[in-house]
Amino acid sequence: MQFIQIRIPDQVSSRRATRTLLKSMHVGLLALTIALLSACADKAVVTATAGLYMRNAPSVEAGQVALLPAGAEVEILEEGPEQTINGVTGHWKRIKHNSTEGWVFGAYLIDSSNSEALDGFRKCTSRGGYWHSEQDTCYPARLRKLSENGRVTGPCGLDFYTLLPNGKIRATGIYYDGARMRGHWSFEDGNSIVLNLGGGDKYRARLHGDTVLYEAFMENRWSSYPLPGNPACP
């Protein structure tokens, strides 16, 4: 009769093998957990045409960490305080982009799961337009260019208003002693840039077909005003 010899590991070897197995299982579960959390994380896409600054705190006064380009996808880590900046209201978001973390103004983000808004944003920017996240509206390239240090001519060219990217207005002309900051501007109605100059004075540049019309708000309605060269001007 032939006997088969079976070697039974001693107790110490058995415990060592068990610890190794448990350690491997722990590492595997940890990796799986991280992968699942990453897959379930809220993600968003940057819509700011000129890019969106990531800062080290939820404030426009905080230091800049990085400039995120339009279309960059970020991971949302935390929602911060609500704030209105240049007429746009939104919450600050603590985000992660690649390996960098910081805060951005959430009004310039689109939820990655919002396929309709993302499609509108991509079509808009491909045509050189400006996508307004709060309104889910595309403003044509001509108005976008006007908003980037473009100049609006006042009635008869007696005053001029430069639109600064931060939403403020620099006024010059015969009514001003040098350059002066006055009021703020905003995109409105899907086809206009409105200049709120304060004191009830409002102008707007409205796109009508391929033409930009300049209008003033008077007697509770918008009316076109004469530009230089018009016989009505002095």
pLDDT digits (tens, 9 = 90+) for 154-213: 999 999 999 987 788 999 998 888 889 999 998 999 899 999 998 889 999 999 988 999
Report the alpha-carbon angle 137-138-141, nearest 5.
155
**CB-based contacts of 70: which residues, under 8 Å, 6+ apart?**
46, 47, 48, 49, 50, 51, 52, 125
- Give the pLDDT confidence of 93-134 residue by residue, as tens digits: 999 999 999 999 998 999 999 999 899 999 998 898 888 877
pLDDT at 169: 93
pLDDT at 35: 44
Say whether 186 sits in a helix, a strand or coil: strand
Report which listed range, 22-26, 48-52, 212-216, is most confident: 212-216
pTM of the predicted protein model: 0.67
Q: What are phi and psi of 168, to 5 degrees?
A: -95, 170
CA distance 147 to 36: 42
In this structure, which CATH number among 2.40.440.10, 3.30.300.30, 2.40.110.10, 2.30.30.40 belongs to the domain 43-139? 2.30.30.40
Fold agreement (43-139, 141-224): no
pLDDT at 33 over 60: no
Q: Are 79 and 106 in contact (CB under 8 A)?
A: yes
| Architecture of the domain whose range is 141-224 | Beta Barrel (2.40)
SS percent in the chain: helix, strand, coil, step 5: 25, 45, 35
- The pLDDT of 56-78, averaged and rounded, is 94
pLDDT at 222: 96
Q: Where are the domains of the chain?
A: 43-139, 141-224
